[in-house]
């Protein structure tokens, strides 16, 4: 019997959130504030955005969650970074199209939908990290930051992809910014893979000892009750990062953002606007000096 907290079945056999979860956790319009950056960047350094190409997350009970990158957590920070003058290259592990949680798309938000339509070709034809890792991890690559947007889909494939780990080590070794929102910090786990550590100046986990905010495990453990997830997570984000020496400083998801050295983090979709502002301001402060 279907209820307001029953996850909703998709045609492909996955489940999107229940009616109640959709009502509580999604919105037709974001809080994007349209900030104008008077000191917008005029240089040639770019941002590499690493996205998931996978949609179906198999939960602990075997049911599959219809996921991907959260559109608010992807597009709102992009609006700020682009307004601040930065070009963004989009990549997925193999070059397959970016997967977005389309059920969370804020369809009444003119700025967000305008950007989505503008970059749809890029989302459908991203750079392959396989080739990027083989060809572009050098001192002359024109990048100032790596951005991993959130959505539960960021926990699909990215934490286990050696090329993601190699890119993160490269960025860390070059003192570039790393920007990760909500479940996006799950991708940082790839930096601990043996294949990613091979040949690195240090084989330690690069983010050990860092403070960051993420989507809390405690909230993920509660969301099946309202049907946001069709079951419990197959892997806990905060627990996995804590085991590697990361200090998770938030217990709730209420829009918190944080910067520790060159790592900018945010705790969920409520943080997307503030995260974009913090990331853009931090990059401009560094590059315009």
Q: Contact 179/279 with Cβ under 8 angstroms?
A: yes
What domains can you pick out in the chain, each with its CATH number? Answer: 45-287 (3.40.50.880)
Please state, rounded to an integer, the average pLDDT across all residues of the chain: 97
E-state strands within the chain? 8-9, 15-16, 46-50, 56-58, 64-66, 87-92, 127-128, 143-148, 177-181, 211-212, 247-248, 257-260, 263-266
- Band the pLDDT of 234: cuts 50, 70, 90: very high
Residue 22 reports pLDDT greater than 70:
yes
Residue 179 reports pLDDT greater than 90:
yes
Residues involved in catalysis: 182
Q: What is the pLDDT of residue 202?
A: 87
Q: Stretch 274-280: mean pLDDT, rounded?
A: 98
Which of 163, 149, 140, 178 is closest to 71 using CA atoms?
149
Parallel, antiparallel, or unpaired for β 15-16 and 8-9?
Answer: antiparallel
Structure letter (DSSP) for residue 17? P
Question: Among residues of the chain, what percentage have pLDDT more than 90?
Answer: 98
Which of 168, 202, 171 is closest to 188 using CA atoms?
168
| Tokens (6 digits) for 260 | 């520790």
Residue 1 reports pLDDT greater than 70:
no
With 0.95 as the threshold, say if the pTM is over it.
yes
R_g (Cα) of the chain, nearest Å: 18
């Amino acid at each position: 019997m279907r209820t307001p907290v029953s996850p909703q079945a998709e045609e492909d056999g996955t489940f999107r959130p229940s009616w109640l979860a959709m009502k509580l956790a999604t919105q037709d319009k974001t809080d994007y504030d349209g900030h104008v950056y008077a000191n917008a960047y005029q240089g040639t350094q770019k941002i590499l955005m690493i996205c998931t190409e996978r949609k179906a997350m198999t939960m602990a009970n075997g049911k599959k969650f219809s996921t991907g990158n959260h559109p608010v957590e992807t597009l709102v920070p992009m609006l700020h970074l682009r307004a601040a003058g930065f070009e963004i290259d989009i990549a997925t592990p193999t070059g397959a199209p970016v997967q977005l949680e389309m059920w969370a798309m804020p369809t009444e938000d003119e700025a967000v939908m305008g950007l989505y339509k503008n970059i749809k070709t890029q989302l459908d034809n991203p750079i392959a990290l396989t080739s990027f890792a083989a060809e572009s991890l050098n001192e002359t690559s024109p990048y100032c930051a790596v951005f991993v947007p959130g959505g539960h889909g960021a926990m699909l494939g990215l934490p286990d992809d050696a090329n993601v780990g190699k890119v993160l080590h490269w960025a860390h070794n070059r003192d570039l910014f790393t920007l990760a929102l909500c479940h996006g910090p799950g991708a940082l786990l790839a930096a601990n893979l043996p294949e990613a550590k091979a040949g690195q100046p240090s084989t330690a986990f690069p983010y050990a000892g860092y403070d960051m905010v993420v989507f809390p495990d405690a909230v993920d453990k509660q969301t099946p009750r309202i049907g946001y997830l069709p079951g419990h997570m197959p892997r806990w984000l905060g627990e996995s990062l804590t085991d590697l020496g990361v200090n998770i400083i938030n217990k709730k998801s209420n829009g918190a953002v944080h910067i520790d050295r060159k790592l900018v983090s945010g705790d969920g979709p409520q943080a997307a606007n503030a995260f974009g502002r913090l990331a853009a301001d931090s990059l401009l402060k560094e590059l315009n000096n």
